[in-house]
């Protein structure tokens, strides 16, 4: 636990930092703690939110059941989290959830596919192959509800963001921004190079679990035709 640091976020949250680099080993530690807190929250805990290198834990200071009366509420929460980190219940061996995302690449659904191919001196089919032949790790969800930050894209597809962002990108759009790829769950502004679109709904506030993807999941992209997209969209 020498690499782990604790930082207060006001009087109702604490950030547990696992380091400064984005890598798979730290990601597994972050997901492990998040899952354990979801399964066994301490009294007063509201939510655990994972990010690239940390977990921020929100709690109600009025509802925390203190175990160490000689400590402040914040220090008490730190001690309870440290106990969970030291627990044998923190396991990194749980298999991740694998989700296949159908994507219609190019055309009206991927208006920037041609530009991305031209930038890398590749054919459009090469871009599709490189993008869909990888497995991606969901490192965190944010920006807009359900937006997944994915790691694992081929370096050969790293493409600068647009100099002028679009005012509105359709929900389901799959884009490349720098060395990352992501999916827009909702219509929103954005500067990614849009190479395709999925008919799947990534965010639905009417469901008990409104987001399709969560941190720790594995994403695979599956190319589909425009006809398949239209049929899927109709369903």
Question: What is 149-193 written as a DSSP string?
Answer: EEE---GGG-BPPPSS-EEEE-TTEEEEEBTEEEE-SS-EEE-SE
Give pLDDT, residue 23: 82
C-alpha–C-alpha distance, residues 214 and 149, integer Å: 10
pLDDT at 142: 85
Span 168-177, pLDDT tens digits: 999 999 999 9
The string of pLDDT tens digits covering residues 17-26 is 998 888 888 8
The fold for domain 98-234 equals Cyclophilin (2.40.100)
Counting as low any pLDDT under 50, the low residues of the chain are none
Determine the pLDDT at residue 88: 57
Looking at residue 206, its pLDDT comes to 86
pTM of the predicted model as reported, rounded to 2 decimal places: 0.81
DSSP code for 12: S
- Return d(Cα 170, Cα 168) in angstroms, integer: 6
Residues of the chain with CATH 3.30.1360.40: 5-86
* pLDDT for the residue 87: 75
Assess contact for 201 and 213: CB atoms under 8 A: no
The pLDDT of residue 209 is 84
Q: What's domain 5-86's architecture?
A: 2-Layer Sandwich (3.30)
End-to-end CA distance of the chain: 49
* Residues in CB range of 163: below 8 A, 6 or more apart: none
Question: What tokens were used for 36?
Answer: 């354990």
User: What residues does CATH 2.40.100.10 cover in the chain?
Assistant: 98-234
CA-to-CA distance for 40 and 194, rounded, in angstroms? 40
Going by the DSSP 8-state scheme, the letter that residue 130 receives in this structure is H
Instruction: Find the Cα–Cα–Cα–Cα dihedral 83, 44, 92, 78, rounded to 10°.
Output: -40
Residue in 92, 97, 98, 95 with CA at minimum distance from that of residue 34: 92
Looking at residue 234, what is its pLDDT?
52
């Amino acid at each position: 636990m020498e690499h782990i640091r604790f930082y207060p976020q006001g009087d109702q949250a604490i950030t547990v930092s696992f380091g400064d680099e984005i890598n798979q080993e730290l990601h597994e530690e972050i997901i492990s703690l998040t899952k354990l807190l979801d399964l066994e929250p301490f009294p007063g805990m509201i939510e655990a939110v994972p990010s690239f290198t940390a977990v921020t834990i929100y709690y109600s200071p009025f509802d925390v059941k203190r175990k160490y009366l000689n400590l402040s509420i914040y220090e008490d929460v730190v001690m309870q989290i440290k106990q969970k980190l030291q627990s044998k219940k923190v396991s990194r061996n749980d298999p991740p959830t694998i989700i296949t995302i159908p994507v219609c690449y190019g055309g009206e659904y991927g208006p920037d596919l041609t530009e991305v191919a031209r930038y890398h001196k590749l054919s459009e089919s090469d871009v599709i192959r490189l993008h869909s032949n990888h497995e991606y790790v969901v490192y965190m969800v944010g920006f807009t509800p359900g937006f997944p930050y994915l790691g694992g894209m081929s370096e050969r597809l790293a493409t600068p963001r647009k100099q002028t962002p679009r005012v509105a990108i359709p929900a389901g759009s799959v884009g490349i921004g720098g060395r990352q790829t992501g999916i827009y769950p909702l219509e929103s502004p954005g500067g990614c190079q849009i190479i395709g679109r999925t008919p799947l709904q990534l965010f639905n506030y009417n469901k008990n679990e409104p987001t399709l993807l969560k941190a720790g999941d594995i994403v695979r992209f599956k190319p589909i035709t425009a006809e398949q997209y239209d049929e899927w969209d109709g369903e």
